[in-house]
Structure 1
Amino acid sequence: MKASHHIAVLPGDGIGREVMDAAAQVLHAAGARAGIGFELDTRPAGAQHYLDSGVALPDETLAVCERADAILFGAMGLPHVRGSDGTEIIPQLDLRFHFDLYAGVRPIRTFRGLRTPLSDPRAQQIDLVLVRENTEGLFYARGRGDARRDAQGRTVEVFDTMRITRHGTDRICAFAFELAQRRAERLGRAGRVTNVDKANVFESMAFFREVFEDVASRHPAIGADSAYVDAMALNLVLKPWSYDVLVTENMFGDILSDLIAALVGGMGMAPSADLGERHGLFQPAHGTAPDIAGQGKANPTAMILSAAMMLDWLAERHGDARLGDAARGIERAVEAVFAGGAVLPFEFGGGDGTRAITEAVLERLRHA
């Protein structure tokens, strides 16, 4: 077991820097209680760095990420900073493809003490995970768009091509079933994986479903079903408490992950992980929120819970139960802070921002 872990830290842009500082404080506090140290190696990347240097993701930053035990990522991108093709500067996608971080994991659950937008009391039971294939789907077309122009040089049509492979679909579906199995054991309930596609329209999606069903046959102890993405968008609002693990293509996952965050109050409550065979990147699901950057209003909960996800991943990789205990400590501290009414984030109608929430979590950790 390692006494210290090397973590590549990429704060990024906007509120990414603010919430990263909060997570670093909580990580050090939880590590100290568990007897584990963390070397946080902060490196530049992002849209602002691109404006300053002409490079969004420096080679040295990439090299540090390669060597690190894990990557802790804030938020990157600014709406006014775009490349020559008109798209935003978003190095997180470069990292996903470079390290083959094929599994985007987006857990969502409600917290006692925080209201939800849904009035049905069963909304307090929301506890699901969206698993998003990160390296294929429609996002595969990034940087590969085929723009057709007329005689005057005007763009008249653009083709972005979706890519679905058996290898990519099989491994993301297998990941989802294995996750559902672990959740079933932990929560003491039957596990279920729901495939989300558009198999009634696209051949690529019919193929995705075919592979999903093949993987499901290899996991008979876990329930399996499928739904079209439009029907799923409806049902996630009507009855989100009925779902366990969802697995889907890249673009659908990108959209639905925002929807499920809204069900529990907003993006400030939505942690995430991008996982591959060798590397793991952990970040809040929210963006840089330039409209509130520098005002101290950002909710750091998603970033703090992403750090807890990192500890769980490290615990499994290194066989170190102390890391898992530290993760549970962070989660319990966050739960207690909200359940006890100690703080109420701005997006829930309160007036507590980054500092107040961070200090409340740290106080809970100190007296756990």
Structure 2
Amino acid sequence: MPGRHTGDSKRYDQRGWQQVGNYTVVALPGDGIGPEITDVALKVLDRVVELVPGLDVTVDSHDAGAERWRSTGVAMPDETFDACESADAILMGAIGLPDARHPDGREVNGDVIFRLRFALDLFAGIRPVRSLPGVADTLAGGKPIDYVVVRENVEGLYASRTGGTNVRGEVATDTIVITANGTRKVSEIAFGLATKRGGRPLDGRKMVTCVDKANVLSSYAFFRSVFDQVADEHTDIERDHVYVDAMTAFQVQRPDHYDVVVAENMFGDIISDLAAATVGGLGLAASADVGYDHGMFQPAHGSAPDIAGRDLANPTAMVLSTAMLLDWLGERHDDKAALEAAAKIDAATLKVLAEGTTVTADLGGSASCTAMGDAIVAALDGQA
């Protein structure tokens, strides 16, 4: 396809990485609306690669997900995992279907998403939330929203996803796992993000908020204590502590008080979805699952099988996730071309949202998924 570099030669920088500007991205379109929004994202990616000199991206698409599991019994074959492990980044559409489940009731999507998160140590789930132009305020009062939820991704309660017990259908247990190393790593990511941001909307103060239940459970008290150790090393960034139940209220009542928020796996999952709802819904929610060596980028929403195949899906979250992918590559490799491409996609998407004439039904418009994608591509072309 246009804009995708397919040459055989590979060049490497002094760190042993593939040369800046020349990347391989594995695409996992997945299930439901996944293929539709992935098609849009790849069109946007193709176009921005054509527009930004010095940027080459090879896209390697693989079949993984619930539909594949239904037909073959395997949601993600080893060769697909190997391709993901070798790629510079992973772009995922939407994996899973509500009725595709293992005998114990777990959805098949975990065979893909959790395998990649745990095996590639994608320990930080980064989910930005911000007020968007042209999108009606969900909250009364209209306070500005611009913060990032950083979710610990490979520990917490979800570490027990295949290790819990169910005794005769009478007693079921899962065990929460909190380690000092895992908590330190995700806290360091949170403070690193706060260093680069402009602070919370309320007053510009740079702050990292730890969300936990330290008043009740020793595991969360331990999470908080490790967070505080990391905070002690970042004296230029303020720290804050909020219990998770209070946090859900504060996200609605005073969202402008937050800059970067860090939480255990399950709590991070819950509050990041609530955060998305406060700015217009999951259709707008981009996300990144990153570690020291690998990165996976996907919309925070699910596969929406009820509208699959009808060209109705909102592609915004998928397109903004693609921008996050390029931004991550740019930061990782000190690549100005990738950073420029990320900024261009972000600006083009915000322009389409602000104009409001070519947006999908969930945003009050009547455009198809494809038409909204085409509008974003046109906005890219229209940038000076």
- The corresponding residue for 1:209 is 224
Counterpart check, 1:25 vs 2:43: yes
C-alpha contact 2:21 2:338 (8 A) present in aligned 1: no
- For 2:367 and 2:219, the matched residues in 1 are separated by 46
* Secondary structure class of the residue paired with 2:252: helix
Runs of 4+ residues deviating >4 angstroms: 185-188
> What is the one-letter code of the residue matched to 1:95?
L
TM-score relative to the length of structure 2: 0.92
- For 1:219 and 1:343, the matched residues in 2 are separated by 44
- The corresponding residue for 2:233 is 218
C-alpha contact 1:342 1:360 (8 A) present in aligned 2: no
Superposed, 1:108-257 pairs within 5 Å as 108-122=129-143, 125-149=144-168, 155-184=169-198, 189-257=204-272
Counterpart check, 1:347 vs 2:358: no
- The corresponding residue for 1:152 is none
> What is the one-letter code of the residue matched to 2:160?
A
C-alpha contact 1:197 1:249 (8 A) present in aligned 2: yes
Percent identity of equivalent pairs: 48
Superposed, 1:283-294 pairs within 5 Å as 283-294=298-309
- Which piece of structure 1 moves more, 26-35 or 134-143? 26-35
* Secondary structure class of the residue paired with 2:197: helix
> Which structure has greater helix proportion?
1
Q: How far off is 1:350 after superposition?
A: 2.1
C-alpha contact 2:49 2:341 (8 A) present in aligned 1: yes
Post-superposition Cα deviations, 1:30-74, rounded to whole Å, max 9, x if no partner, equal 111112221110001101100011101110100111111110011
Post-superposition Cα deviations, 1:264-320, rounded to whole Å, max 9, x if no partner, equal 111110000000110000000000001111111100010000000000111122221
Q: How far off is 1:184 after superposition?
A: 3.2
Q: How far off is 1:147 after superposition?
A: 1.4
- For 1:331 and 1:342, the matched residues in 2 are separated by 18
* Secondary structure class of the residue paired with 1:347: helix
Equivalent pairs, count = 361
* Secondary structure class of the residue paired with 1:121: coil
Aligned residues: CA RMSD:
1.5
TM-score relative to the length of structure 1: 0.95
**Which of 58, 73, 79 is the equivalent residue of 1:60?**
79
C-alpha contact 1:181 1:222 (8 A) present in aligned 2: yes
> What is the one-letter code of the residue matched to 2:330?
A
* Secondary structure class of the residue paired with 2:185: helix
- For 2:198 and 2:351, the matched residues in 1 are separated by 24
Stretches of structure 1 that go unaligned for 5 or more consecutive residues are 150-154
**Which of 26, 36, 56 is the equivalent residue of 1:8?**
26
- Which piece of structure 1 moves more, 335-344 or 271-280? 335-344
Post-superposition Cα deviations, 1:158-217, rounded to whole Å, max 9, x if no partner, equal 110000010111111111001100113899933100000001111100101111111111
- For 2:355 and 2:67, the matched residues in 1 are separated by 38
